[in-house]
Amino acid sequence: MALNGVLPEEHYADCANGYRIHYIDVGAGPAVVFLHGSGPGASGHSNFKGNYPWLAARGYRCLVPDLIGFGFSDKPNDVDHPLSFFVECVKQTLDAIGVETCCLVGNSLGGAVAIGLALQYPELVEKLILMAPGGMSNREEYLQMPGMQKMFEVYSAGEPITHSVMKELFTFGLTHDPKYTTDELVAERLQIMAAMNGHVMMTMDIPNLAERLAELSCPVLAFWGTNDRMMPDNGIMALIRNCSQLKFIILSECGHWVMVEYADMFNKECLSFLGSD
């Protein structure tokens, strides 16, 4: 586990495409795979440290990979990063560690990757848990969101990202209550940011998947904060109108990180959903 804002470095999977993906593997039981969002210094542990240990203690094998370009995973600067590349790397990671079926938990970019996996490999994904997933709107709609504008402003500044700049970005863009933007979180993100090359953010290409949601064959549990400054809220209706097996929880006084700001509720709802028939 991370201490004093230092991220845990654990296992690596050698993917068939030649890339190495870092992942955390804790607990025993049915597999639950946590897929984090994007942004400066993003990693699986920093997104889900308040969630996966709790579920692991209740009978689940929790796998927390760092997506390609993030965390301790490889950060290629000579390839673009369309959704298909993220999906490919996660699928090959799961293949390498022998996961044949799982529930996927995805926030933001990780939500889009989770949906992409469920669409391409329906036999792999038994259930989906989504928190303000990407891929619900068009690119120009995302770029109008104040949190997204702030994030790209930080990336394009051409200067090192300091502790204060990182904290301001998370306070403004990702949380409703600033108390959740802790110094420990900022230290974790800065640790990874020092190794990031920015190429993943500049070449990321996530299509609008809204109309394809009807193709999902698994149950879906979705969360959305009403104070989200990253995701356009037309994504709410995209999920409601197109998912046939959907439970939707909308939270007031909550930003982009439902799993952080409402960790207890989120964990309990996930446990109930995972255990349901």
Catalytic amino acids?
256
Q: How far is the CA of 66 from the CAs of 22, 25, 93, 169, in angstroms?
A: 6, 12, 10, 21
d(CA 251, CA 203): 32
d(CA 238, CA 93): 29
| Cβ partners under 8 Å of residue 18, min gap 6 | none
d(CA 184, CA 154): 20
d(CA 143, CA 57): 39
d(CA 276, CA 168): 39
Q: Are residues 223 and 130 in contact, defined by beta-carbon separation less than 8 angstroms? A: yes
d(CA 257, CA 147): 12
Q: Report phi then psi at 57, rounded to 5.
A: -70, -10
d(CA 258, CA 201): 22
Q: Report phi then psi at 222, rounded to 5.
A: -125, 145
Q: At 79, which amino acid appears?
A: V
